[in-house]
Amino acid sequence: MIEFRNVTKRFPDGTLAVDDFSLVLPSRKTTVFVGSSGCGKTTLLRMINRMVEPTSGDVEIDGESVLGGDPVALRRRIGYVMQNSGLMPHFTVIDNVATVLRLTGVKRAAAHQRARELLDTVGLDQALAERYPSQLSGGQQQRVGVARGLAADPNILLMDEPFGAVDPIVRADLQQETLRLQRELDKTVVFVTHDIDEAFLLGDQVVILDKGARIVQVGSPSEIIENPVDDFVAAFIGADRGKRALHLKQTPRGTVVVDADGRTQGSIIDVPDAVTDALLSEESVTKGAP
């Protein structure tokens, strides 16, 4: 469990990035910080592994303050994945993945064996092991970055807008890969994004932030969609524009679900005719997932 206790961060230029932030992030779940640029979400993420030091307050992992020990040792036991992968261009794929293990004293052969296992875990062909980052696609680079973040088998994985620089198709694939990895590996994931649809797709707990990392609403995707706490949240998730509204449409082949723009999102199956008729009599239904 990760807990922020009255955390404040003021930078030397006077910018108040985080103002008295408190929150518990549950273990073995994905918590997503989402908000517009400059709201403090990345600052919060980086205070977990002390890449940013809080001005006041504390961050605890399983009841122990992160501020009391060696920050380098702390970072080596917490996985970190960033936008644009952050790979070292002069290292091969396998050496990039093995970096943290080598820094912690693992022998080269053992580190490479673990790295090869992780290439399989993240869906990369072993033939890529000896290539350099410049020889990979953007999506492949991000997968290498995820593999490197998992190399030391950390309990916590921090992901700072990791898919923001890839095209929409690759991004969708990487999002599904993240969901699969979380199901299989059971990590505590902290994810930062400005994309509310990505937050709703990946998050067990979604934290919507305003300036100064002020929590506007926190909850599951369903809780937030069904009960936006105020106009700010409604606007942020698109509920005020009907973005989350779904409608039923009768077609010759059956009933389908369409979004606010009339695009088909799926079909209704295994629903008694009486229920379908009742639903069709309603103007719309609330969208339960992005």
Domain boundaries, the chain: 2-237, 244-286
Residue 208 pairs in a beta bridge with 34, 217
Q: List, for residues 89-138, the tens digit of each pLDDT value.
A: 999 999 999 999 999 999 999 999 999 999 999 999 999 999 999 999 98
Provide the 8-state DSSP code for 262.
Answer: S
Q: Is the pLDDT of residue 289 over 60?
A: no
Residue 246 pairs in a beta bridge with 285
Q: Is the pLDDT of residue 174 over 80?
A: yes
Q: How confident is the model at residue 42 (pLDDT cuts 50, 70, 90)?
A: very high
Cα–Cα–Cα angle for 89, 87, 142, nearest 5°? Answer: 125
Let me know how long the chain is.
Answer: 290
3-class state of residue 233 by DSSP: helix
Q: List, for residues 74-90, the tens digit of each pLDDT value.
A: 999 999 998 877 899 99
- Nearest to residue 287, comparing CAs of 238, 254, 236, 218? 238
Average pLDDT estimate for 146-153: 93
CB-based burial label for 34 (10 Å; 0-12, 13-18, 19+)? buried
pLDDT of residue 251: 81
Average pLDDT, the chain: 89
Q: Count of alpha carbons within 13 Å of 198, Cβ hemisphere only?
A: 23
- Nearest to residue 56, comparing CAs of 3, 19, 24, 25? 19
Average pLDDT estimate for 38-53: 97
**How many angstroms separate the CA atoms of 60 and 50, rounded?**
11
Q: List, for residues 106-118, the tens digit of each pLDDT value.
A: 999 999 999 999 9
Chain centroid to Cα 17, Å, comes to: 20
Kindly state the tokens that stand for 196.
């509310």
Q: What is the pTM of this model?
A: 0.84
CB-based burial label for 200 (10 Å; 0-12, 13-18, 19+)? buried
Q: Is the pLDDT of residue 285 over 50?
A: no
Kindly state the tokens that stand for 67.
């501020």
Q: Which of 19-33, 47-61, 151-165 has the lowest mean pLDDT?
A: 151-165
Element (H, E) at 251: strand 245-251
Q: Give whole-number Cα distances, 271 to 21, 41, 255, 274, in Å.
A: 45, 42, 10, 8
In CATH, the architecture of 2-237 is 3-Layer(aba) Sandwich (3.40)
Higher pLDDT, 60 or 276: 60
Q: Answer whether 44's CB lies under 8 Å from 21's CB.
A: yes
CB-based burial label for 258 (10 Å; 0-12, 13-18, 19+)? middle
Q: Is the pLDDT of residue 278 over 60?
A: no
> How is 6-24 classified by DSSP, letter by letter?
EEEEE-TTS-EEEEEEEEE
Provide the 8-state DSSP code for 216.
Answer: E
3-class state of residue 192 by DSSP: strand
Kindly state the tokens that stand for 252.
């010759």
Average pLDDT estimate for 34-46: 95
How would you list the strands of the sheet with 56-61, edge to edge?
16-25, 2-10, 56-61, 64-65
Average pLDDT estimate for 139-163: 93
- Nearest to residue 23, comparing CAs of 66, 65, 68, 58? 58
